[in-house]
Structure 1
Amino acid sequence: MAGIMLQGTGSDVGKSVLVAGLCRALANRGYAVLPFKPQNMSNNAAVTADGGEIGRAQALHALAARAEPHVDMNPVLLKPQADRTSQLIVHGKVRGTMGSSNFREGRRNLLPDVIASYRRLAARSDIVVVEGAGSPAEINLRDGDIANMGFARAANIPVILVGDIDRGGVIASLVGTRTVLDPADAAMIRGFIINKFRGDPALFADGYAAIEELSHWRGYGLVPWLADAVRLPSEDAVVLEKGRNISTERKLIVCPILPRIANFDDLDPLKQEPDVDLVMIPPGIAIPAEATLIILPGSKATIADMTAIREQGWDIDIRAHHRRGGAIFGICGGYQMLGNRITDPLGIEGAAGRITGLGLLNVDTILADDKSLRQVSGRALDQDFTGYEMHMGQTLGPDTAHPFAHFPDGRRDGAIDASGTVMGTYCHGIFASTELRRALLNGIGARSAGLDHGVMVDAALDDIAQSLEQCLDIDAMIALARENRS
């Protein structure tokens, strides 16, 4: 087996984009490459063909590798909830919750599951590209670790450390990581990559050499700022506040950033549309009265996020928008919030309870422990679409007599109010369907460019791979990975 692992000096240093680009570069060279992330913590998730659940970033990595997403690519997924616990997903299925009281021991017990997944992937590939989580420099989390050095040492896989020069202090972050690591952990690191460099690479030649001298690691390259990365789905919620400039010449679509927002990459296809501005509304900011469409996104903790909507006063903004005849679209948890009531009798999201919704759809939701996970295709707004379902609970009521979507097996999904301005669905990923997106935008008076979102993402992966071919010593990285062959 052959494998290589990218770890970072911190979160958001660009590991995920580099793994995607490296997977595509290796696939373009003819290698059978597969991605792997031992543990991910994210409420952005994807559904595999066999009905499992993995991090959305690992689904993107599978696309980059030209492979079918599989639960082994992300054997442990933690989805943060409202009560300081996380839903634990192992091999694509719910296996309870993890919190501060059982976090360390719980992770340690999952290492056999992680290693088993990695070995299965390695057995059917030429090379596995592994992404770490956070940073190995967080030595306070080392005990029981399965995401970084705990996995690397158990799998005996070489590590390349990624540093982000754009945030500053990259020399200290790389050399300092070596300083704080246990010597056995530090021995797993065989080199480094400098990421997000702007300007003339010659200006950092001395700094690059200093890192090699002080760390005793070799450098594998200096990666420029990859502008094409903006065309990829966003993995982390921290990027949500980086929106476009608002123009009075375009239709304004807004989405409030909920505390437990989930699967916000649903909105990515709208970013490519030149006739609309998609603006994410952070806490403390009112929903603009100029909005044409309000989208309520998915949520990992619907009741808690409904409470947050009221605390922010967004419920007042949403109802005022509705009185003005504005369009409102709810996805999954957002669909549930549009209804009359949300009840959690079993305490699925935390403490058992009930909350009043926005009352814009005449439906009620009861949360249950049976999780619906399936890829779907159907018809909505008189257009064909594909997507996936990922939700817990059932929504019923008079407005479901006017469903948003119909499936070939006769099932129906979602609801539309009598005015046709309020819609809700449990289907994620539907805006990537070109004709459905066009129909939605036409409904708010906006034109669609008719671009294929999937084609755009695939082209971005090729462009990023080409950039990495020019700036990284990929031949040397392949040779390093093969040292792990057994």
Structure 2
Amino acid sequence: MARAIMLQGTGSDVGKSVLVAGLCRMAKRRGFDVRPFKPQNMSNNAAIAAMPGGGDEMGEIGRAQWLQALACGVAPSVDMNPVLIKPESDMGAQLVVQGRSRGSARARDYQRSKGALIGPVLESFERLRKEADLVIVEGAGSPAEINLRARDIANMGFATQADVPVVLVGDIDRGGVIAALAGTHLILSDEDRRMIVGYIVNKFRGDLSLFDDGIAAIGRFTGWPSFGVVPWLADASRLPPEDSVTLARRTSHLPAKLKVAVPMLSRIANFDDLDPLSAEPEVEVVFVPPGERLPRDAGLIVLPGSKSTIGDLAFLRRQGWDEDLKAHHARGGRIVGLCGGYQMLGRSVDDPEGFEGEAGRFEGLGLLDVETVMQPQKALREVEAFSPRHGVALSGYEIHIGRTEGADCARPVAMIGDRPDGATSSDGLVTGTYLHGLFGSDAFRARFLREFGIETGGTNYRAQVEQALDNIAMQLEEHLDCDALLAAAR
């Protein structure tokens, strides 16, 4: 039975996901058979993972746990993230339990009923413990949200039931880290406070010794030992992001041969599809926030995935982005739609049974001669394919509902065996596909960028991610007492 330790945060976006990935790689480099685990995740960045018991059936987990599995050197499984919440609106979300969708729920209803999910959470956790030496667990949000404690399955509710010691992570970059750590200590119950074995201060910029007095102050207020102060990890920007709140910070403003504009849809999903393009030195990827127009100097506009195609189609129109897309196309600009973005590019999206909300038929952008009909069956599969246009193999994954057909499907983006996927407009300027991750295929990306006059020089995107994980692991070895962290696991 594996030992386990859990990282919880003083708040959201304190860097837990990156730290867990780095610690997983650190443990792997030390020879541990290690697994990541996150009881509950809220993200529209989903990945494909194996279901328990083997076989070909696939399920969904958060993209961060996919990355952490990569850091461990193992295949992802749905047990690594047994509860995934995929927001569809401000008030509701799709609930995925152990890889399978359980339909949609309003936020209030979920908060009332989520305590019952501790069973599947503990079941998945125990399966992971049986196949590894060490499990590194990531919390969600913060244990300081004591108003949610009664039915909690993501932080102390899980830690106390599974008897997993907790390391608290504070983010010094946002300011107030002493108050955040001391305040968390103050408001936790005695039972929850006893679970914490120490803390980490994350995202420090500058001379680490300047925080020695801060460490002393935290010790006086809490009595907790420090496992160390982690500097700002530049390599973290080379890893796929988990949360859309980071997108504006990831936008590059360096001059490049090709500017790629990506509208930040309200339910944007799987936006790490763009990371391989961002990694190219001659490509600038700009995520355009609501209220701003799509830049006229963009050579390529990518409509990303969405958890709510119909809702985001209306959102896109409210920003005036539909007119920007049509003007871009009229100037001879290229457009690529990925998954939900592909569906939006067609003539219509028909949702006869109201899977995304109100039933009906909705007008699309009309830039592809295709129509989409939403269906209950979700496509969940990894894909090996071939690009007829570029003459190279590519790989990716599908995670969508809906069937898209029309005249432009006669010019597919990819052939998956003898099954065509995607569509291309008659002028060749607009393409759409259900394949996520295709830009991660180095040969495809090289041929694609060559059409814009860019020679990539054989960039190996996966190797860059692996190197970033190694670099982060080495920095954690340098700045954290990793021996003490591992010793605290039980």
Alignment of 1:9-20 (within 5 A): 9-20=10-21
Indicate if the aligned counterparts of 1:274 and 1:449 stay in contact, CA closer than 8 A: no
Residue of structure 1 in register with 2:54 after alignment: none
Matched with 1:34 is 35
Which residue identity does 1:309 align to in structure 2? L
Deviations 1:14-69 (A, max 9, x none): 00010000000000000000000000000001012441110000000000011110
The DSSP-based 3-state class of the residue aligned with 2:455 is coil
- Check whether the contact 1:32–1:125 (CA below 8 A) recurs between aligned residues: yes
Partner SS, residue 428 of structure 1: coil
Give 1:206 shift. Answer: 1.1
Counting only pairs closer than 5 Å after superposition, residues 49-88 of structure 1 correspond to structure 2 as 49=50, 50-82=57-89, 84-88=91-95
Equivalent AA in structure 2 for residue 420 of structure 1 = G
Answering whether residue 49 of structure 2 is matched by residue 48 of structure 1, we say yes
In the alignment, the residues of structure 2 paired with residue 201 and residue 458 of structure 1 have an alpha-carbon distance, to the nearest angstrom, of: 27
Superimposed CA distance per residue, residues 336-381 of structure 1 (whole angstroms, 9 cap, x where no aligned partner): 0000000111111122222111101010001111000000010113
Q: Is the 8 A contact 2:40 2:85 kept in 1?
A: yes
- For residue 344 of structure 1, what is the aligned residue in structure 2? 351
How far apart in 2 are the matches of 1:146 and 1:353? 37
Deviation at 1:310, TM superposition (A): 0.6
The more displaced of 312-321 and 96-105 is 96-105
Q: Encode CA deviations 1:67-99: one digit per residue, 9 max, x unaligned.
A: 110000000000000362110111111112221
TM-score normalised by L of structure 1: 0.97
Query: Following TM superposition, by how much is the alpha carbon of 1:382 offset from its aligned partner in structure 2, in angstroms?
Result: 1.5
Q: Which amino acid aligns with 1:129?
A: I
CA contact (8 A) 1:246 1:252 kept: no
2:149 aligned residue: 142
Determine if the alignment matches structure 1 residue 325 to structure 2 residue 332.
yes
Instruction: Show the counterpart of 2:478.
Output: 470
Number of the residue aligned with 1:393: 402
CA separation in 2, counterparts of 1:181 and 1:353? 48
Q: Give the CA deviation at 1:102.
A: 1.4
Q: For residue 424 of structure 2, what is the amino acid of its counterpart?
A: I
Instruction: Indicate yes or no: 2:421 matched with 1:420.
Output: no
> What amino acid sits opposite 1:97 in the alignment?
S
Q: How far off its partner does 1:386 sit? A: 0.6
Amino acid at match of 1:458: E
Structure 1: distance between partners of 2:191 and 2:480: 26
Is 1:312 matched up with 2:319? yes
Letter in 2 for 1:38: P
Matched, 1:130 2:137: yes
Name the stretch that deviates more: 25-34 or 444-453.
Answer: 444-453
CA distance in 1, matches of 2:175, 2:5: 26
Partner residue, 1:334: 341
Quote how far apart the aligned CAs of 1:246 are. 4.7
AA at the equivalent of 2:479: C
**Counterpart amino acid of 1:191?**
G
Q: Match for 1:230 among 227, 237, 244?
A: 237
Is contact 1:83–1:350 with CA below 8 Å preserved after alignment? no
- The residue number in structure 2 matching 1:158 is 165
- Tell me the equivalent position of 1:459: 467
Residue 448 of structure 2: aligned partner: 440
Aligned positions of 1:61-460 closer than 5 A: 61-82=68-89, 84-242=91-249, 243-247=251-255, 249-380=256-387, 381-408=390-417, 410-460=418-468
Of stretches 143-152 and 442-451 in structure 1, the one that deviates more from structure 2 is 442-451
Partner SS state of residue 96, structure 1: strand
SS in 1 for 2:183: helix
Pair 83,137 (structure 1): closer, same or farther in 2 beyond 3 Å:
closer
User: Is contact 2:93–2:107 with CA below 8 Å preserved after alignment?
Assistant: no
Structure 2: gaps spanning 5 or more residues: 51-56
One-letter amino acid matched to 1:115: L
Q: Give the distance between the partners of 1:76 and 1:63, measured in 2 at CA.
A: 20
Please state whether the residue corresponding to 1:194 is helix, strand or coil. strand
Distance 1:157 1:416 in 2: 52
Contact 2:20 2:68 in 1 (8 A): yes
RMSD between aligned residues:
1.0
Q: Structure 1: which amino acid aligns with 2:20?
A: V
Greater relative contact order structure (CA < 8 Å, 6+ sep): 1
Q: Output the amino acid matched with 1:89.
A: V
Distance 2:233 2:475 in 1: 8
Preserved CA contact (<8 Å) 1:303 1:354: no
Alpha-carbon shift at residue 143 of structure 1 (Å): 2.0
Asked if the contact 1:5–1:158 (Cα under 8 Å) also holds between the matched residues in 2, the reply is yes
Aligned position for 2:26: 25
Aligned residue for 1:11, secondary structure, equals coil
State how far apart, in whole Å, the 2-side matches of 1:406 and 1:16 are.
35
Do the aligned residues in 2 keep the contact of 1:16 with 1:57 (CA within 8 Å)? yes
User: Which deviations, in whole Å up to 9, do the C-alpha atoms of 1:95-121 show, x marking residues without a partner?
Assistant: 122213311232111100000000110
Q: Tell me the equivalent position of 2:8.
A: 7
Q: Matched residues in 1 for 2:280 and 2:134: separation?
A: 37
SS at match of 1:4: strand
SS in 1 for 2:44: coil
Distance (whole Å) between structure 2 residues aligned to residue 274 and residue 63 of structure 1: 24
Equivalent residues of 1:160, 1:191 under 8 A apart: yes
User: Which one-letter code corresponds to 2:416 in the other structure?
Assistant: F
List runs of 5+ in structure 1 lacking aligned partners.
none
Amino acid at match of 1:464: I
Distance 1:407 1:423 in 2: 16
Q: Residues 419-475 of structure 1: CA distance to partner in whole angstroms, max 9, x if unpaired?
A: 111100000001010111111111223332321110000010000000000111111
Q: Are 1:19 and 1:131, in contact at CA under 8 Å, matched by a contact in 2?
A: yes
SS at match of 2:118: helix
Retained in 2: the 8 A contact 1:388–1:428?
Answer: yes
